[in-house]
Amino acid sequence: MAERIFILNGHPGPASITRQAMARYAEAAEAAGHDVRLSQLSDLSFDIDRGIAGYDSVKPMEPVLEEALENLEWCSHFVLAFPLWWGGPPAKLKGWIDRVLVPGRTFSTEETTPIGLPKPLLTGRTARVVITSDTPRAFLRLAYGDAVLRQMRGQVLGFVGFRPVRVTWFAGASDPKEGAVERLLREMEALGEKGR
């Protein structure tokens, strides 16, 4: 079954392994008949500061953020790729998350879940997070308790309704071993064909 796939390369730089990986994913997905929208964070210009705390007065969105939100509402599968910087996503991507995942469109503060959390409004969608890092996967788990994965799966994407959220981890990104990047690109191609 064809998926509607929204891909965000969340690397703030114009050239990166994540850009290559998302290009390969998108090409394979389109060739397999999926409907694909690809966005490059580095091409987007917006204020990363959401401003006043609270949900009563949300800062008006720039057109590129409104388009991103429409893509999230449109998609059946979301792919988010980013480098791990200081244990989390880059500041510009965090700003994108802060500005795009707004109440009334991605979650409801007027309705709650059985345990009292805001009701997610993007249910029925799946996601994949692709993280490039210098931190080995095992060390992330043992030393840091998978903090960035718990954040993305539970506090960000899961919070607004994406389930399941699958993860692809690419370690050694600053100085990849011979053949490692090509293996990642082949993996992205296979996932893109399946729309997963």
What percent of the chain clears pLDDT 90, i.e. is strictly above it? 92
Q: Tell me how far apart the alpha carbons of residues 53 and 113 are, in angstroms, rounded to a whole number.
A: 23
Q: Tell me how far apart the alpha carbons of residues 114 and 104 are, in angstroms, rounded to a whole number.
A: 19
* pTM of the predicted structure, to 2 decimals: 0.95
Q: Where are the domains of the chain?
A: 4-194
Query: What are the structure tokens assigned to 9, written together?
Result: 């390369």
3-state SS class at 101 = coil
Question: pLDDT tens, 17-55?
Answer: 999 999 999 999 999 999 999 999 999 999 999 887 666
Question: pLDDT tens, 128-140?
Answer: 999 999 999 899 9
Q: Tell me how far apart the alpha carbons of residues 32 and 135 are, in angstroms, rounded to a whole number.
A: 33
What pLDDT does 176 receive?
92
What percent of the chain clears pLDDT 70, i.e. is strictly above it? 98
Q: How confident is the model at residue 58 (pLDDT cuts 50, 70, 90)?
A: confident
What pLDDT does 59 receive?
84
State the fold for domain 4-194. Answer: Rossmann fold (3.40.50)
Mean pLDDT, rounded, for 146-174: 96
Mean pLDDT, rounded, for 69-94: 97
Q: How confident is the model at residue 108 (pLDDT cuts 50, 70, 90)?
A: very high
